[in-house]
């Protein structure tokens, strides 16, 4: 039997952006350490911080008769436990050498998150950072039928106060996204489809956005050096936003079909891994831009690899 291809949303998304980027990231496996003060680095750390927060809540849940959930501590005690564990997380990151500025930013974001959402006492947490494998379908590689499996990780699966199961994905942004940004973002639809494929009746998704950009008033407080009277704090509603996303059955079927079509295209023997240049996309969504541009300017095959090595990239062959 042919071994299945295991793909993630990140791989599918990379292929949709640029076939050369997909080759460099998922076939040649070029990677480099993420800098803590980069947008991605801040996002990774914030994601880990919120994982600490919600694992703490999850650890204090108890299932009662009928599958209902209760906490083994009061709300005030729960909040103190969460804040204590997050403080330990931040202290550990400081010892690891993470920049103090980045940790101050994370502290500000976390304090606002809790002020905005509390400790989500109306949510029963069914899972935190759970990994799933769902059969996506089959593709043809040459004359060989090859099964495709979707591997995906859910930030948080919850049951709301109405008894509906939803998946929540936490994201950090320089600016909060608009509702229309989700119209053709297939990631969350694919997660909902995948869980339903596995027999889990998921109602929909919730995108939970947190803003990383600070105003001067968020940094300087009255009485501190550098503070000016015209400096204003960012209001909570401009820093945090949760957007429910609902899907029709036909919509989810199309999301899954498009994903499988993408995998077929990426793994086809006719894929030439061509560069798909786009000024906006290449500028902010690709870690290989500098090396790619260098090879394009010299016209010499292999110059991209040489530049990647000079920039600190290395190849990690282990897949997923």
The whole-model pTM stands at 0.91
**Within-domain flag for 196:** yes
Evaluated on CA atoms 193, 199, 200, 204, the torsion sign reads: positive
- Rg (C-alpha) for the chain, rounded Å, is 22
Same domain (yes/no): 246, 163: yes
Task: State the average pLDDT over residues 289-307.
Answer: 93
**Within-domain flag for 320:** no
Same domain (yes/no): 152, 251: yes
Work out how many domains the chain is built from and give that number. 3
Same domain (yes/no): 38, 186: no
Same domain (yes/no): 156, 215: yes
**Rounded CA separation 242/131 (Å):** 23
What percentage of the chain has pLDDT greater than the value 90? 84
Same domain (yes/no): 180, 292: no
**Rounded CA separation 223/212 (Å):** 24
Same domain (yes/no): 97, 237: no
In the predicted structure, residue 110 carries a pLDDT above the cut 60: yes
Q: What CATH number is given to the structural domain containing 177? A: 3.90.320
Same domain (yes/no): 144, 83: no
DSSP letter assigned to residue 4 = P
Same domain (yes/no): 301, 254: no
Where in the sequence is the domain holding 299, given as residue range(s)?
16-31+271-315
**Rounded CA separation 238/271 (Å):** 44
Residues whose CB falls within 8 Å of the CB of residue 49, separated by 6 or more in sequence, listed in order: 86, 89, 90, 106, 110
Same domain (yes/no): 56, 186: no
Which of 104, 121, 138 lies at the terminal end of a domain, its last residue? 121
**More confident of the two residues 318 and 26:** 26
Which of 76, 104, 121 lies at the terminal end of a domain, its last residue? 121
**Within-domain flag for 222:** yes
Same domain (yes/no): 53, 153: no
Task: State the average pLDDT over residues 124-141.
Answer: 96
**Within-domain flag for 39:** yes
Which of 90, 106, 121 lies at the terminal end of a domain, its last residue? 121
Confidence bin at 66 (pLDDT 50/70/90): confident
pLDDT in tens, 235-248: 999 999 999 999 99
Same domain (yes/no): 162, 265: yes
Same domain (yes/no): 25, 83: no
**Within-domain flag for 133:** yes
**Within-domain flag for 154:** yes
pLDDT in tens, 3-59: 999 999 999 999 999 999 999 999 999 999 999 999 999 999 999 999 999 999 999
């Amino acid at each position: 039997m042919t071994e299945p291809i295991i793909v993630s949303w990140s791989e599918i998304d990379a292929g949709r952006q640029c076939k050369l980027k997909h080759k460099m990231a998922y076939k040649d496996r070029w990677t480099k350490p993420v800098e803590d003060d980069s947008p991605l680095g801040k996002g990774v750390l914030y994601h880990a911080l919120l994982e600490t927060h919600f694992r703490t809540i999850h650890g204090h849940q108890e299932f009662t008769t009928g599958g209902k959930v209760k906490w083994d501590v009061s709300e005030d005690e729960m909040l103190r436990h969460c804040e204590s564990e997050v403080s330990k997380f931040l202290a550990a990151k400081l010892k690891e050498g993470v920049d103090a500025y980045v940790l101050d930013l994370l502290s500000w974001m976390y304090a606002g998150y809790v002020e905005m959402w509390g400790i989500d006492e109306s949510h029963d947490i069914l899972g935190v950072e759970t990994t799933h494998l769902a059969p996506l379908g089959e593709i043809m590689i040459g004359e060989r039928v090859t099964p495709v499996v979707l591997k995906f990780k859910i930030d948080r699966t919850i049951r709301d106060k109405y008894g509906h199961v939803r998946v929540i994905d936490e994201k950090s942004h320089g600016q909060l996204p608009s509702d229309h940004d989700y119209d053709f973002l297939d990631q969350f639809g694919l997660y909902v489809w995948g869980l339903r494929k596995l027999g889990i009746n998921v109602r929909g998704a919730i995108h939970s956005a947190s803003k990383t950009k600070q105003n001067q008033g968020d940094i300087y407080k009255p009485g501190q050096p550098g503070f000016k009277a015209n400096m204003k704090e960012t209001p909570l509603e401009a820093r945090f936003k949760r957007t429910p996303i609902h899907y029709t059955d036909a919509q989810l079927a199309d999301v899954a079909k498009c994903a499988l079509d993408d995998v077929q295209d990426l793994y086809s023997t006719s894929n030439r891994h061509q560069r798909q240049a786009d000024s906006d996309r290449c500028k902010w969504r690709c870690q290989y831009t500098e090396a790619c541009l260098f090879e394009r300017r010299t016209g010499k095959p292999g110059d991209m690899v040489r530049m990647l090595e000079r920039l600190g990239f290395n190849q990690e062959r282990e897949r997923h």
